[in-house]
Structure 1
Amino acid sequence: MHTSLACGNWMPIGCLNHHTQLFVGDMVTVTFYDTQGELVDLSFKYEIITEEQGGPHNWPRFVAEYINTHIPLVAAGRMTEQGLVVAYRSNQIYTLEGCGITRAELTFKCIAKCDDCQAVKPAYDYIYPEKCSAYNAGVKVLQPKTGLIYKCKPWPFSQFCNVKEENNPLYEPGVGESWHLAWQQISP
């Protein structure tokens, strides 16, 4: 765990909240980006080398521990009253506000037979509230507060998707009082 967690504001940039069973030889790639594109020096591949590592409750914890040990300005885990704790499943990826890192994406390369694995593209278009004025019908967002993905409903409900959270928190996906009017939860 980073000792510098108290030395700045940490903002969520991605999520290790996947319920995918991985197998020996499969690979999880974590790619970090800034506004200019991919940060090659920070991005990494994590190969599953044991059956235990590939469990849907285990590999998110192992990847979070790897991030906390090897990637500067980035931390992974769950924010609790005691601070950042690496958990089984559902770990968020955070970065120090102002460091320039804007998002983290996970992709999977499955060499074993794996019906659950989907590679190349993340399951969401944006991390909420990133570029919220561009949201329209069909846009998928990762809500860092819940770790879940939400899809903007079709018109006329889509007009409520692109309302910035501080202006109208009623429609904030997953947490606003009326979020169901604008969003559909698509991840468990």
Structure 2
Amino acid sequence: MKLLLCMAIPIILGACENKTSKKVDESQKECSESALYSSAREHQFIYPDHRQEYSPGTVVYQPKTGRVYRCKRYPYSQYCQQWSPSDRRFEPGTGSNWTAVWDLL
């Protein structure tokens, strides 16, 4: 849950920085700048919302990883929409076959 707190301020890349000393605040150490940068990137959807609209080039934010992914071109793009509670093979960043379908941005 602490990571979600960090995601609430994705545009501020120095969110974990102490503004007076310019050093990392140890109480917020878990808030990594790379996660903040990735979540700050523009995306069209939050995965898995609106899966029926995913097409080649669609950019999604995956809250489970805090990263942004782009749906690959056809023929791989047909799997970008595929998801169910029992079949998560192509879920970006976490599925067993996600790299066949998504590019990490």
Note whether the superposition's TM-score is higher than 0.5: yes
Q: Distance in 1 between matches of 2:54 and 2:71?
A: 7
Equivalent of 2:13 in 20, 23, 42:
20
Is 1:87–2:30 an aligned residue pair? yes
Q: Distance in 1 between matches of 2:65 and 2:31?
A: 16
Q: Please list the CA deviations of residues 12-68 of structure 1 after superposition, one character each: whole Å capped at 9, or x if unmatched.
A: 7x935679358xxxxxxxxxxxxxxxxxxxxxxxxx993656x7x66xx5xxxxxxx
Q: Give aligned-pair identity as a percent.
A: 26
Task: Give structure 2 stretches of 5+ with no counterpart.
Answer: none
Q: 1:178 aligns to what?
A: 97
Q: What is the SS of the residue equivalent to 1:171?
A: coil
Task: Give structure 1 stretches of 5+ with no counterpart.
Answer: 6-11, 23-47, 62-85, 92-104, 107-121
Larger radius of gyration: 1
Deviation at 1:168, TM superposition (A): 2.5
Higher strand share: 1
TM-score by length of 2: 0.67
Q: What is the SS of the residue equivalent to 1:133?
A: helix
Task: Note if contact 1:17-1:147 (Cα within 8 Å) is conserved in structure 2.
Answer: no
Higher helix share: 2
TM-score by length of 1: 0.40
Moved over 4 A (4+): 16-19
Q: 2:19 aligns to what?
A: 50
Q: 1:132 aligns to what?
A: 51
